[in-house]
Amino acid sequence: MLFESLNIIDPILQALQEEGYTTPTPIQAEAIPIILEGKDLLGCAQTGTGKTAAFAIPILQILSENKVYDKKRKIRSLIVTPTRELAIQIGDSFKAYGRHTGLTNTVIFGGVNQNSQASSLLRGVDIVIATPGRLLDLLNQGHLSLRDVEILVLDEADRMLDMGFIHDVKKILAALPKKKQSLFFSATMPAEIVKLAASILHSPQHVSVTPVSSTVDIIHQYVYFVDKGNKNALLVDVLKDPKIKTALVFTRTKHGADKVVKILAKHRISAEAIHGNKAQNARQRALKNFKAQETRVLVATDIAARGIDVDDLEYVINFEIPNIAETYVHRIGRTGRAGAKGTAFSFCDAEEKEYLRDIEKLISKKIAVVDGHSFPLVDHHPVKVPKQQGRGASGHPAPKSKKVMSTEYWGRKGR
């Protein structure tokens, strides 16, 4: 299927061709026709599936075909997203796909002076991409009106729940007209998100793409069993591999992320942390340095890292195993994008074995064990099984000093 077959107008098709896009992703192929028909949509899709274009393209088309010729442009579409990074990425997408439509958009978010954002709104704009807190601030100050919004998008709704934005979102919803088209996207569907979606959407069409088990098939995955107190030393040891030019390291907590950065700094490994306690400017700078490979290691919490797209990221390291299996899939999904090679290492201590079992059940796959490393788990006594030829980082054969073994034996050991 090509984009031409989705009845997309020429100005947008031209922009897509200029961006080098010819074939829509599964969510784009499913969602674009539904949105163009004016129907509400409930999309269950992870970051990296192409969902931004799935809503940006039809929104641009609908607004282009029904232009309003008021003296001052009114906000006709509102996209609400949890973080500055995501808002900027979505804004860039609207600019790219809409460059020949004459439509305008602006991005508003907290952590920076609001004057330039308020000025942009004062001049008039067709599409606003916003984080909830700053949007409410500007709304309460009278810098914008949402009375003319025709299309609403709530993106990464589950993450907004995690970050405590649900009350802000409900206040924003109260300022919107009752008659509008609503598009709701979430990577997971916990009960509160299902309830929120039901209160917003009217007879929605459902789109769900990329089952979690299939997103990890192309990524080389390995687990190191290690005592909790030896994780720092193991991380330093793993990063001695010169093939690991950059790595995204996940911790469960903000404090944990900061501690890992300090440890790495002591060993002269350049690292920065990105989490909710960091100022927006500091987070953006850290991400920029990481993308430019000026910083070798970016240490992140789950909430801070979701939605971050880093081209050619080959390594993800789970310093701590997440207690929710789906989170593991989100984490390692930062690598192996668009068919590129990717490797994920996970450090598993005794208390995390249960989490590992849940992950393997979810992805229907046993994760290969790197055995014989310098910091083995004290109670880790594998039974003998046939050796498996592991492939190490970037698809290279695993180091000879480290035996890579299947985790099948854990079923017999009663893990």
Give the tens place of pLDDT for each residue, 168-197: 999 999 999 999 999 999 887 888 888 999
Q: Which residues pair with 225 in a beta bridge?
A: 348
- The pLDDT of residue 168: 94
What is the reported pLDDT for 406? 38
% of the chain residues with pLDDT over 70: 85
Q: Which amino acid is at 152?
A: L
Which of 174, 192, 210 is the last residue before a domain boundary? Answer: 210
Residue with tokens 């674009």: 32
Structure tokens at 372: 């014989």
Are 196 and 222 members of one domain?
no
Same domain, 369 and 250: yes
Whether pLDDT at 412 is above 60: no
Residue 411 pLDDT grade (very low, low, confident, very high; cuts 50, 70, 90): very low
Pair (193, 239) in one structural domain: no
Instruction: Enter the pTM of the model.
Output: 0.59
40/180 same-domain check: yes
- Residue finishing a domain among 185, 210, 235: 210
Question: How many domains is the chain partitioned into structurally?
Answer: 2
How high is the pLDDT of residue 190? 82
CATH number at residue 378: 3.40.50.300
Same domain flag for 247 and 348: yes
Reported for 14-23, long-range contacts at CB under 8 A and 24+ positions apart, including other chains, are: 14/100, 15/96, 15/97, 15/98, 15/99, 15/100, 16/57, 16/97, 18/99, 19/96, 19/97, 21/53
pLDDT averaged over the chain?
85
> Considering 210, 232, 251, which residue would you say is the last residue of a domain?
210
CA separation, residue 264 to residues 272, 273, 302, 317 (Å): 9, 11, 20, 14
**193 and 342 part of one domain:** no
Asked whether residue 382 falls in the same domain as residue 263, the answer is yes
Q: Which residues make Cβ contacts (< 8 Å) with residue 314, sequence separation at least 6?
A: 244, 245, 246, 335, 340, 341, 342, 343, 393, 394
Does residue 410 register a pLDDT over 60?
no
Characterise 103 by phi-psi region: left (phi > 0), alpha (psi -120 to 50), beta (else): beta
Q: What's the N-to-C CA distance of the chain in angstroms? A: 46
Q: Both 29 and 129 in a single domain?
A: yes
Q: 105-108 and 247-250 as β-strands: parallel, antiparallel, unpaired?
A: unpaired
Domain shared by 112 and 183, yes or no: yes
Angle at 172 between CA 164 and CA 209, to 5 degrees: 70
Predicted confidence band of residue 214 (pLDDT cuts 50, 70, 90) = low
Residue pair 29/1 in contact by the 8 Å Cβ criterion: yes
**Comparing 109-118, 200-209, 210-219, which segment has the lowest mean pLDDT?**
210-219
* pLDDT of amino acid 303: 65
Residues 268 and 183 occupy one common structural domain: no
- What is the domain extent for residue 112? 3-210
210 — alpha (psi -120 to 50), left (phi > 0) or beta? Answer: left
CA distance 39 to 262: 50
Q: Residue 393's closest CA among 343, 354, 352? A: 343
Query: Based on the domain organization, do 254 and 313 belong to the same domain?
Result: yes
Q: 264 and 201, same structural domain? A: no
